[in-house]
Structure 1
Amino acid sequence: MNQQPGMMYVGEKGSGRRSPLAVGLMFWIFCLGVLVEAKRPPKCPLTCSCTKDSAFCVGSKAIPRTFPMDVISLTFVSAKFTLIPAGAFSHLPTLQFLLLNANQFTYIKDNAFSGLSHLQYLFIENNEIQSLSKDTFQGLRALTHLSLENNKLQALPRGIFKDLRILTDLDLRGNAFHCDCKVKWLIEWLRTTNASIAPVQCASPAKYQGHKVSQLPIKDFACITTEFILYQTLPFQSISVEPFGFADDLYVTFAQTNGGNCTFLKWDHIEMVFKRSENISARAAVYCKPLVIDGQLFVIVAQLFGGSHVYRWDDFGGKFIRIQDIDATKTRKPNDIETFQIEGEWYFVIADSSKAGATTIYKWNTNGFYSHQSLHVWHRDTDVEFVQLDGKPKLIISSSTQTPVVYQWNWARKQFVYQMEIPGMLNVHAVKHFRIKRDMYLCLTQFIGDSKVVKWENHKVTTNQVLPSRGTMIAQPLQIIQWHYLVLGSDFSLSTIYLWDAGEMKFARFQDWNLRAPRSFKLVSIDNFDLVLASSFKGNTVIYKHNIVDLSA
């Protein structure tokens, strides 16, 4: 075909080319299609009925992503999905009303309603929800009406309503609330909120069934409990542990009989653990007792072999220096050391478990310690406890050959004199004391047989409680804030922690620790931590942390 002059063709067959006019025409057709598509409203989901600003969905298997652009009201009934994920409605920022009724979902994830800054009405009713998290309603600051009626909620987490600052109406009816510690915060909140709330009743326990939650007595819910958790493991055996403060730092020293050392650890305030610091070489050490006098640090090192000695810390040299030997004729087989102060004078006493030795008191005289008094010879003493009883200093000495003996300080003679025996307990390995309010108690430890807690009153002791304790070398009372504990170590089974029951005025079993041959328990408090250091003769030395647990949270 011949091209005629003056004629313009859109395209030429077989040439594979298009004229500028053809290209321009196609571009405008494309743009027109885009504009038409852009103006077309989103399709209504198949399971929903929609108007310009609302949608009503029945039997939906998921939350659709296509709704009218300016929808402000959305309802789901008999939906088949089992959970509402985070940000499930974030594509509907104009939503003001949301009803979720008679659906099958059981779980609502955190921030499920994020992005709904205009939502005022939220009704989650007649569903299968058993629990909610504290962040379920996070960000719903425009919400005024909330209904959780007829679900399967047994409790609500503390702080779940914290973001609902203008809430005016709340409905929690029809849920099976279990009224224990977890409902305590709700009782308090119901009494202080300005929102209008339909009466909520307890479903359980039987004691409160049918009672209004808001009217439950707060005092009935003792929701603070405690626990001990393993905090730090120290890779060595030890037979005794002693904490002490020196130069504004916290230290502990462990006597390592098998390792031949007094090992010192220092608290690290940054890493919050004890780290190795110093060391005293001590053959067969059974006790490393620190004593700070006028800013000087002394350590009395008691050994089974090689004699016992006194060391002083030399700041200039940065090491411990041996300054004194303990009289070997009196201290042959040391078993325990106690330090104490009377009328401004410092003393220490060593309990000696050798038949030929004697429990001896030493006094500080500015240059060293000298023998002040020997007492209780020939009795194989195993433990000595210093205590203020009836307003007077006393020493209670335990022995493997007789009942515990009490010595009382004589102010005129400036010595301890025999006062009495504690009857009814032979072969007591150790005695420890504790106070509860004004009452004084003693823990009497037996390795074979039962240990006892006795009450001291008017120069008499009466049995308060008997505790099975076969294989026990130490029964250590501990007070942490208002809680009183008794740790009963055991060589044959788990060590047991008892907690004082103020109502029963006795110890109740509280927790077990897995320790190998425990020999000593000491409490330290530092950086808001309460730590129990436990020495082990046959395993690793360990440190437990005391935790306070709020069951109402």
Structure 2
Amino acid sequence: MPPGLSTFLNAPDIPDIPLSFMTRKCPPAVPAGSSPVACHPLAVGDTLLVVVAQLGGGSWVWRRSGGPGSPFVRHQSLGSGHLRRPHAVAAAHLGGHLYLGVADSSKGGTSTVFRWASGGFYPHQTLRPWRRDTHLEFLELGGRAALVVCSTARRPLVYRWSGSGFVPHTDIPHVPDVYAAKHFRAAGGVFLCLTRFLGDAKVVMRWEGSMFREVQQVPARGSLVFQPLVLAGHRYVLLGNDFAPSRVFRLGATGRLEPAQDLPAPTPRAFVPVTAGHRHFLLATSFKGATQIYAHVTEDVGT
């Protein structure tokens, strides 16, 4: 097979790639809530759940009432009395059980880990209080489950799983006010992409056995998204900028991110890989504009 160069192109600009994304009439999925801030789908057995965290009216777990196309019905109120200002949601399977973590950004709030039992999510552990947490990330470090919690009030904190709960292990130095953390595994290591909205650089760190150490800083301008993902078998890290073109990076042979392409995605808030048949797409949601769809293509650069 000749060598190729992978890149992202705006899908509507490619005439020979027919799009299969179209609007269709279907029953409402999840009714609009009051200021939703996170929407997280979960499969529990044969049941599809959607966790909707919102600022007003409480947070809820919704359950699809039937097969594909069926409407969602309210299944459970989430964290009544535990969550004041939820900001992010993440889930993980640990020790044969499903856990759900919710970061609480209220000054007087406490981030909480819930456990699925008896057909619902129930509080299992409260994390550090009074920290205005903005994001949490489940991952594995040295063969053990771990949790990274980001906060506007202090440095990110790494928890290690003890078998029954998360125990504080260490913080991540020199990076206060981290908005979010996303991890990926490559070249036998665990890397962490840290996003700070303020400042002109985002940080990439690598786990070194007992703590994270900085690998490099990546220039950024108003970024809330620094997201690793895999699309069409390729590892990418995407940096979404509000005040400059977003950028696509690859992991180089030296273990550092190398710029591969600029992406004209305005004010992005998330990047989602989608595969449809033999085609691969990237969806970029926007804070101020329409969601952009990019097609992943491989250009033949062989001779």
Give the alignment's TM-score, normalised by structure 1.
0.51
514, 521, 531: which one aligns with 2:281: 531
Whole-angstrom CA distance in 2 between matches of 1:394 and 1:280: 31
Whole-angstrom CA distance in 2 between matches of 1:231 and 1:482: 19
Superposed CA deviations along residues 496-526 of structure 1, whole A, max 9, x for unmatched, are 1112222x32112221222222111122333
Give the equivalent residue in structure 1 for 2:43.
292
Residue 367 of structure 1 and its aligned partner are, at CA, apart by 2.0
Higher helix share: 1
Question: Are the aligned partners of 2:92 and 2:99 in contact in 1 as well (CA < 8 Å)?
Answer: yes
Change (3 A) 1:274 1:440: farther
Matched to 1:370, the amino acid is Y
Matched to 2:20, the amino acid is M
Residue 479 of structure 1 and its aligned partner are, at CA, apart by 2.4
Give the equivalent residue in structure 1 for 2:90.
338
Residue 343 of structure 1 and its aligned partner are, at CA, apart by 1.9
Question: Are the aligned partners of 1:352 and 1:358 in contact in 2 as well (CA < 8 Å)?
Answer: yes
**Is the counterpart of residue 461 in structure 1 residue 241 in structure 2?**
no
Change (3 A) 1:514 1:481: closer
Give the equivalent residue in structure 2 for 1:427.
177
Equivalent runs, 1:223-372 vs 2, <5 Å: 223-231=3-11, 272-273=20-21, 275-276=23-24, 277=26, 278-281=28-31, 282-315=33-66, 318-372=70-124
Question: Are the aligned partners of 1:398 and 1:430 in contact in 2 as well (CA < 8 Å)?
Answer: yes
Matched to 1:484, the amino acid is R
Question: Are the aligned partners of 1:287 and 1:303 in contact in 2 as well (CA < 8 Å)?
Answer: yes
Question: Are the aligned partners of 2:232 and 2:280 in contact in 1 as well (CA < 8 Å)?
Answer: no
Equivalent runs, 1:61-460 vs 2, <5 Å: 223-231=3-11, 272-273=20-21, 275-276=23-24, 277=26, 278-281=28-31, 282-315=33-66, 318-411=70-163, 414-449=164-199, 450-460=201-211
Whole-angstrom CA distance in 1 between matches of 2:83 and 2:138: 19
**Is the counterpart of residue 512 in structure 1 residue 292 in structure 2?**
no
Higher strand share: 2
Higher relative contact order (CA 8 A, sep 6+): 2
Give the equivalent residue in structure 1 for 2:230.
479
Equivalent runs, 1:16-95 vs 2, <5 Å: none
Question: Are the aligned partners of 1:454 and 1:465 in contact in 2 as well (CA < 8 Å)?
Answer: yes
Whole-angstrom CA distance in 2 between matches of 1:366 and 1:535: 35
Whole-angstrom CA distance in 1 between matches of 2:5 and 2:177: 36
Residue 30 of structure 2: SS of its match in structure 1? Answer: strand
Whole-angstrom CA distance in 2 between matches of 1:475 and 1:429: 10
Whole-angstrom CA distance in 2 between matches of 1:532 and 1:470: 22
Superposed CA deviations along residues 383-437 of structure 1, whole A, max 9, x for unmatched, are 10000111011110010011110111111xx111111101110011111111113
Whole-angstrom CA distance in 2 between matches of 1:482 and 1:318: 32
Matched to 1:228, the amino acid is F
Residue 231 of structure 1 and its aligned partner are, at CA, apart by 2.2
Residue 328 of structure 1 and its aligned partner are, at CA, apart by 4.1
Matched to 1:273, the amino acid is F
Change (3 A) 1:232 1:385: farther
Whole-angstrom CA distance in 2 between matches of 1:374 and 1:552: 56
Point out where structure 2 has 5 or more consecutive residues left out of the alignment. none
Matched to 1:320, the amino acid is F
Question: Are the aligned partners of 2:136 and 2:147 in contact in 1 as well (CA < 8 Å)?
Answer: yes
Change (3 A) 1:349 1:232: farther
Whole-angstrom CA distance in 2 between matches of 1:376 and 1:470: 30
Higher mean alpha-carbon deviation, 271-280 vs 392-401, is at: 271-280
Matched to 1:456, the amino acid is W
Residue 300 of structure 1 and its aligned partner are, at CA, apart by 0.6
Question: Are the aligned partners of 2:170 and 2:211 in contact in 1 as well (CA < 8 Å)?
Answer: no
Whole-angstrom CA distance in 2 between matches of 1:459 and 1:518: 33
Question: Are the aligned partners of 1:448 and 1:469 in contact in 2 as well (CA < 8 Å)?
Answer: no
Whole-angstrom CA distance in 2 between matches of 1:332 and 1:374: 13
Residue 271 of structure 1 and its aligned partner are, at CA, apart by 5.8
Give the equivalent residue in structure 2 for 1:544.
294
Superposed CA deviations along residues 200-231 of structure 1, whole A, max 9, x for unmatched, are xxxxxxxxxxxxxxxxxxxxxxx421110122
Whole-angstrom CA distance in 2 between matches of 1:494 and 1:315: 42
